[in-house]
Amino acid sequence: MTGENLISAYVSDAERDAEASVRPKRLAEFIAQDRVRDQLDLLLQGAMRRGSPPDHILLSGPPGLGKTSLANIVAAELGTGIRVTSGPAIERSGDLAAILTGLAEGDVLFIDEIHRIAKPAEELLYSAMEDFRVDVVVGKGPGATAIPLDVEPFTLIGATTRSGLLTGPMRDRFGFVAHLDFYSPVELEALLHRSARILGVPITVDGAAEIAGRSRGTPRIANRLLRRVRDYAEVRADGVVNLATARSALTVYDVDGLGLDRLDRAVLTALVDSFRGGPVGLSTLAVAVGEQPDTVEEVCEPFLVRAGLLARTPRGRVATAAAWHHLGRNPPNGTFAAETAVAPDLFSVEPEQP
């Protein structure tokens, strides 16, 4: 393992531990997503009164909004165990059969990024979800035999950031489908105050508001920025996260007033300076910023589009007038969406579907 990879692994473990400590453990502790919380509460209460596992649950939405937390909350509310895996990790139907046959009655199986599950495993999952049975094929060719194995009644919770990639048969087998929306700044402020109490970080109202405004409507980002501002406050200030400390810390960590980081600004700068605002193809833009096309498309673009800074057109990516202004440049005449400005209710609109 290289030094860089070693550092990344260490940071990742530390981040995971810190993130786990602030995750809500019960529905009552989960901030925002009121409609989803109410629907889930009805689903779970009804199942517990009947003494049977609840219907299978599909949670969709952008990364960092609480899908994994909700899966753990469902298991906690039901008082059952939870088995966690991910779609890419299930490469063969035998892998899934081993997981399913190891579940106890009433357990929760959480599959993250379920849209990436292998096709043979997906087909095996159909019978498990409907009939609590799997057919394991032994042997190959004409002599192959299918051995039916019973599976204890369980609840599958699937999470996806790309619900459009789910097949129709898979989606139809979920009894409850919920979409998680981006958080408003007010909701993020409440979340930050809760996280600060758990982490023992003194935080002021304006300090929380400053971090919330730069968190892109995402709790995971808000908690991560809180930990970074805490570090700055403890090392270079008096330990209190206030407005001045938050602004100084986020400047050090290259997070600007809209929540754009180094890569976001690199994409916009390349569009404006190297390609005169576009249009430019995704691959060309990715090469210009030294990143993979998937990274630019899945990490940067969703927020830049929502913020009105970038537009996807049939001819390629285009910087809007708001992007030029955000970089401190005057857009030329005829710039795409010349009147585009960042909406004040940025995080209250429906997220773009893939």
Q: Which of 214, 216, 220, 306 is catalytic?
A: 220
Assess whether 304 and 267 both reside in one domain: yes
Determine how many CB atoms are found less than 10 A away from the CB of residue 212: 25
- pLDDT per residue over 294-330, tens digit each? 888 888 888 899 888 999 888 999 999 999 999 988 8
Which is more confident, 120 or 178?
178
20 domain-assigned: no
Among 107, 112, 181, 264, which one carries the catalytic annotation?
Answer: 112
Query: 316, 353, 351, 306: which is closest to 336 by C-alpha?
Result: 316
Catalytic residue among 23, 68, 160, 320: 68
Judge if 124 and 68 occupy the same domain: yes
Average pLDDT over residues 94-102: 89
Same-domain pairing of 245 and 268: no
Q: Are residues 127 and 144 in the same domain?
A: yes
- Count of domains observed in the chain: 3
User: Which of residues 346 and 51 earns the better pLDDT score?
Assistant: 51
Residue 337, both tokens = 């969406």
Please tell me whether residues 133 and 243 are part of one structural domain. no
Q: Is residue 354 part of a domain?
A: no
In terms of domains, do 49 and 111 share one? yes
Mean pLDDT calculated for residue range 151-172: 92
Q: Are residues 119 and 52 in the same domain?
A: yes
User: Exactly one of 23, 67, 214, 265 is catalytic; which is it?
Assistant: 67
Statement to judge: residues 152 and 221 lie in one domain: no
Is 23 a domain residue? no
Show which of 252, 283, 308 is a domain's final residue.
Answer: 252
Residue-level pLDDT at 343 = 39
CATH for 239: 1.10.8.60
Structural domain for 101, as ranges: 33-179
Does 4 map to a domain?
A: no
- Do 226 and 294 lie in a common domain? no
Indicate if the pLDDT at residue 15 is higher than 90. Answer: no
In the predicted model, is pLDDT for residue 18 greater than 70? no
Is 101 assigned a catalytic role? Answer: no
* Same domain assignment for residues 247 and 266: no
Residue 340 forms part of a structural domain: yes
Evaluate whether 259 touches 306 at the Cβ level (below 8 Å).
no
**Residue 68: active-site member:** yes
Any idea what the CATH number is for the domain that residue 294 is in?
A: 1.10.10.10
Residues 222 and 285 in one domain: no
The pLDDT value recorded for residue 241 is: 96
Do 38 and 93 lie in one domain? The reply is yes
For residue 147, being part of any structural domain is answered with yes
Which comes out higher in pLDDT, residue 137 or 42? 42
Domain of 155: which CATH number?
A: 3.40.50.300
DSSP conformation letters of 241-284: B-HHHHHHHHHHTT--TTS--HHHHHHHHIIIIITTT--B-HHH
Which of 252, 282, 311 marks a domain boundary?
252
Whether 155 is a known active-site residue: answer: no
112 classed as catalytic: yes
Query: How much of the chain, in percent, has pLDDT values that exceed 90?
Result: 61
Q: Where a domain ends, among 206, 228, 252?
A: 252
Note the pLDDT of residue 103.
Answer: 93
3 found inside a domain = no
Check residue 143 and give its pLDDT.
Answer: 56
Residue 227 CB contacts under 8 Å (≥ 6 apart), including other chains: 15, 18, 199
| Residue 60 domain-assigned (yes or no) | yes
269 belongs to the catalytic site: no
Alpha helices in the chain (DSSP H): 3-22, 34-50, 67-78, 93-101, 119-131, 168-172, 185-199, 205-213, 219-236, 243-252, 262-269, 282-289, 293-295, 301-306, 321-326
Give the active site residue among 161, 245, 320, 335. Answer: 161
pLDDT of residue 138: 62
Q: What is the pTM of this model?
A: 0.83
Where residue 347 falls among pLDDT bands split at 50, 70, 90?
very low
pLDDT at 338 over 60: no
More confident residue, 152 or 20: 152
Nearest by Cα to 213 from 21, 342, 301, 30: 342
Least confident of 22-26, 56-60, 199-203, 349-353: 349-353
